[in-house]
Chains A and B, each alone.
Chain A
Amino acid sequence: MIQIENICKSFNTHFVLNQLSLMVNQGETLVIIGKSGSGKSVLLKLIIGLLKPETGSILIEGKNIVKAGFRDLQDMRRNFGFVFQSSALFDSMTVSENINLALRKHFKWPEQKICERTTECLNFVNLEGLQEKLPSELSGGMRKRVGVARAIAGYPQYILFDEPTTGLDPETAENINQLILKLKRELEVTSVVVTHDMHSAFTVGDRIALLHKGKIDIEGEPAVIKKSYHPEIKKFLSGYTLLK
């Protein structure tokens, strides 16, 4: 369980997050929606300790990641997978090297087991046989899926997705949505998905939270959000309805 309590984060005196509190329950997929620049990605980076808030606490299974020392922080991060908006694959490494880099570091496994796990992760994201390709040889959707394979390689309990469908064509975006659902179904991971793609939000989300003016303005199940009269939600929904 992830418990975010009263966090404030500012950049150059501009408050991006202001007394924000939020709870992510075990095994659920929480989708955070909000306008561009509303601080969604900042929130993800705070959860995994890439950024530090000025005030507040972020408890991961009761341990405050904000106050964690270097070693504790590394231990806590091993429970996480992170899928970056840009995929952030290591461009000098092959697909398999990207996936097994952390395995080699954190698991003292024999080479054969590392190869098996790499293949297993690639199979999970339907990218069999691409082990020796470089990221530059892959399409945007493939890179995103390699990012997912890399994120799940170390058996994380939590996966954070930063705009997983942004910049992808509808079919590829739908594949990614189905992949997120598959992760929940088969691996029982807890996920936090940051997006402004409402179709994706309604497809993968058990709960949806709106980040607006530095706070969570409204949160609830997709059915509740669909009926909301919150002006920001209505703006998001009007775009979604138009698309549909």
Chain B
Amino acid sequence: MFAIMEPLFTEIGKYGKLLWWSGISLRDFSTYYDNTIRRMKFIGIQSLPIVLLTGAFMGMVESVQVLYSLQNRAPLYLVGSVVTESIILELGPVLTALILAGRVGASIAAELGTMRVTEQIDALEVMAFNPVAYLVVPVLIAGVIMTPVLTIFADVIGILSGCIISILTVDLSTAEFLKGARRFFVPWDLTYGIIKSAVFGFFIPANAAYVGFFTKGGAEGVGKATTRSVVISSVMILILDYLMAQFLLKAGW
């Protein structure tokens, strides 16, 4: 049994060691400062268009489906409640994270993987650089800061587009939509969504950095690392989503 599980334990050990090393490297501020700003632009500003597009369609689809479910069964202003709650609690953080796992995670894994197989990470080490401080810490900090920011943008555009579609589809006013939105809203919902997106924002680059940093085997290895990064992050997002809903949401009950 242990023999079967050994590779998994080894991977977890290496992953933990990389995160531990990243934590220690936080004191090496001068090494990661410039790269952190660059990564924040990449993760935040450059991801904004795709996140806004996803957020807009998420809100539109959600409102159409909720209106379909509510018709002749419940007051239509409840569409505001359901759209707002579902976007803030679930769709905003999760869809933003999945988008980032594909766009940012794949890019980080490919970049670090290529640097590993072309000995660029070794070159950093022999130049007396701390490669974790230079390459990994910036993406972790940028991920934790920028993912919640992007999620807020996705939430706002999602609710806004949901509101517009509701107004255009059925005889509902903006005031009624907002009445519904306020009906079940509690501030903890927003806090929960932001905490959730920060957790996703940590693990997406962490997974990508891990598989990239330990890539082996040339171009094929880089390809596999990129795929692994997206798959691991996507699965992890789903698992963490459930765990946080189960344990974190109870704090708001």
Contact = CB atoms under 8 A, between A and B. Distances in A.
Interface of A: 45, 48, 50, 70, 74-75, 77-78, 80-82, 84-86, 88-91, 101-102, 105-106, 150, 154
Given A91-B114, A102-B128, 14 more contacts: A48-B126, A70-B130, A77-B125, A81-B126, A82-B126, A85-B119, A88-B118, A88-B120, A88-B123, A90-B115, A90-B120, A91-B118, A105-B30, A105-B31
Interface in B184-219: none
Contact of A86 (B119, B125, B130): B119
B242 interface: no
Nearest to A70: B130
B119 A101 contact: no
Given A105-B30, A105-B31, A90 B126 contact: no
A48 B119 CA distance: 14
A101 B127 contact: yes
29 contacts: A45-B122, A50-B125, A50-B126, A74-B130, A77-B125, A77-B126, A77-B127, A82-B123, A82-B126, A84-B119, A86-B118, A88-B119, A88-B120, A88-B122, A88-B123, A89-B120, A89-B123, A90-B115, A90-B120, A91-B114, A91-B118, A102-B127, A102-B128, A102-B129, A105-B31, A105-B127, A106-B128, A150-B127, A154-B127
Given A102-B128, A105-B129, A50 B122 contact: yes
Contacts of B128: 74-75, 77-78, 102, 105-106
Nearest to B115: A90
Contacts of A48: 126
User: Nearest 7 CB-CB pairs, A to B?
Assistant: A88-B119, A88-B123, A82-B126, A77-B128, A102-B127, A74-B128, A78-B128
Contacts of B129: 101-102, 105
Contacts of B130: 70, 74
Contacts of A45: 122
The A contact surface, by secondary structure, is: mixed
A50 B127 CA distance: 11
Contacts of B126: 48, 50, 77, 80-82
Contacts of B122: 45, 50, 82, 84, 88
Interface in B102-147: 114-115, 118-120, 122-123, 125-130
A180 B69 CA distance: 77
Contacts of A102: 127-129
Contacts of B118: 86, 88, 91
Contacts of A81: 126
Contacts of A84: 119, 122-123
A241 to B, nearest CB: 33
Nearest to B34: A104
A37 to B, nearest CB: 16
A50 B123 CA distance: 10
Contacts of A70: 130
Contacts of B31: 105
Contacts of A90: 115, 120, 123
Give the interface centre of B122, B128, B130 by most chain A CB atoms within 10 Å: B128
Contacts of B115: 90
Contacts of A106: 128
Contacts of A80: 126
Contacts of A78: 128
Contacts of A85: 119
A23 B8 CA distance: 41
Give the interface centre of B115, B119, B127, B128 by most chain A CB atoms within 10 Å: B127
A91 B127 CA distance: 16
Nearest to A51: B122
A10 B146 CA distance: 43
Nearest to A44: B126
Contacts of B120: 88-91
Nearest to B111: A92
A225 to B, nearest CB: 29
Contacts of B123: 82, 84, 88-90
